Structure 1
Amino acid sequence: MKIGLILLSICFLMLISCGTDNAKEDKAEAETTNQKTVITAKAIENFNYTDYVLSSGAEKAVANWEKYQELAIQINYLKKADLSFFNGDKDLLRTFIEEFKLALPTNFKTNPIISRMAIIETSLYRLNENLTLDNIDDNLKLESVKEVLIAFSNLNYQINKKLERDKYNKIKAEY
């Protein structure tokens, strides 16, 4: 009778211990899944920010600014979660940014636009660093993506504002 009770107790303990290990593994898996936020187009689409686009007059004004057009294309890829341009070689990004700044049309060389370009430069470098380093949390990477999108949107806003201001300065008073 004692042997049967001992065997029954051992079987019971084995069943309890097996169930506990599986529960711990499932819990650990769930925690790592919750911590990892994948950079997807859906996650980028859910950002809450004002996305300014260029007016028709501004589009005509920047039509010859090739580096702006290239950046706009890369930003559209970024919105679709294509990070290849931004997590590439830092020297290529540095070269692109320098050419982007040098190719600025003279009619856009105002302090607000130059400062927005500096913010874009900083946010692009930060995004590049966050994407290329392995120990950076995905939430921080997503935040860096959002900063680039906001910086580009603010540049568009300043370009629109500049052209609108120029248009109203040309209007002369009738009296």
Structure 2
Amino acid sequence: MKALLYITLFFCVFSCKETDKTQELEIEKEVISSQITKSDIANLKYAQFLLDSKTRNSQEFWQKYAELDDVVLRVNQADLSFFKENHEVLIAFIKDLIETIPEEINTPLINARLLALETQMLKLEGVVNLSNPEKKEVLLVVKDFLTAFSNLNLQINKKIEKESQNIVKPY
């Protein structure tokens, strides 16, 4: 009877340690799978529009746009640190971005693209600050953010292109 008790106790002790090891392995796999790499972001499929060189070369174009462009470059390098536990700075950045828009491109269409970009920035911040975000979900939100930025560039390019056309209207 004592032998049966010892065998049962021995079995319980060793079986508990094995489940702890498997749980540790699962946690390590989750941490590894949630890390975003530069190649993951490079593999995202979206229409990427760059700002026209005429606009980009302008010295006084839009200071906050240059900072936004830097944030996008860091996201393309898989550096999401700007969005991690930085809510007040992000809100101030978005507010400054919207308030300092140059008059020559301050149109409802561009303001709509800025609003979409703001939404995607806040969504990306929310997903990045989750305790255990899924890699697939983070990549989807990063793609949406990059698409919103690309659409802003496209709209600015269209505005500049339309203004540069000299269409003579007959009287």
Corresponding residue for 1:13? Answer: none
| Residue 36 of structure 1, CA deviation | 2.2
Cα root mean square deviation, aligned: 3.0
User: AA paired with 1:48?
Assistant: K
Question: Which residue among 143, 157, 167 is the counterpart of 1:171?
Answer: 167
Corresponding residue for 1:105? Answer: 102
Corresponding residue for 2:142? Answer: 145
Corresponding residue for 2:156? Answer: 159
User: AA paired with 2:64?
Assistant: K
Q: SS of 1:145's equivalent?
A: helix
Q: CA 1:114–1:61 in 2, change beyond 3 Å: closer, same or farther?
A: farther
CA distance in 1, matches of 2:72, 2:41: 12
| Residue 50 of structure 1, CA deviation | 1.1
User: AA paired with 1:162?
Assistant: K
CA distance in 2, matches of 1:58, 1:133: 37
| Residue 166 of structure 1, CA deviation | 1.2
Corresponding residue for 1:120? Answer: 117
- Give a deviation string over 1:34-91, Cα, whole Å, max 9, x none: 9924211000000001110011112135753111000001100110011111224101
CA distance in 1, matches of 2:92, 2:98: 10
Corresponding residue for 1:60? Answer: 57
User: AA paired with 1:122?
Assistant: T
Corresponding residue for 1:14? Answer: none
Structure 1 residues not aligned, in runs of 5+: 1-17
| Residue 112 of structure 1, CA deviation | 1.2
CA distance in 2, matches of 1:33, 1:101: 38
Q: Would the aligned equivalents of 1:39 and 1:81 in 2 still touch at CA under 8 Å?
A: yes
- Number of equivalenced pairs: 154
Q: SS of 1:85's equivalent?
A: helix
1:129 aligns with 2:126: yes
Corresponding residue for 1:83? Answer: 80
- Give a deviation string over 1:95-151, Cα, whole Å, max 9, x none: 000000000001111111000000110000010111111143221111111111111
Please report the TM-score for the alignment, with normalisation by the length of structure 1: 0.76
User: AA paired with 1:81?
Assistant: A
Structure 2 residues not aligned, in runs of 5+: 1-14
Q: CA 1:44–1:114 in 2, change beyond 3 Å: closer, same or farther?
A: same
Q: Would the aligned equivalents of 1:63 and 1:69 in 2 still touch at CA under 8 Å?
A: no
Q: Would the aligned equivalents of 1:49 and 1:150 in 2 still touch at CA under 8 Å?
A: yes
Corresponding residue for 2:5? Answer: none
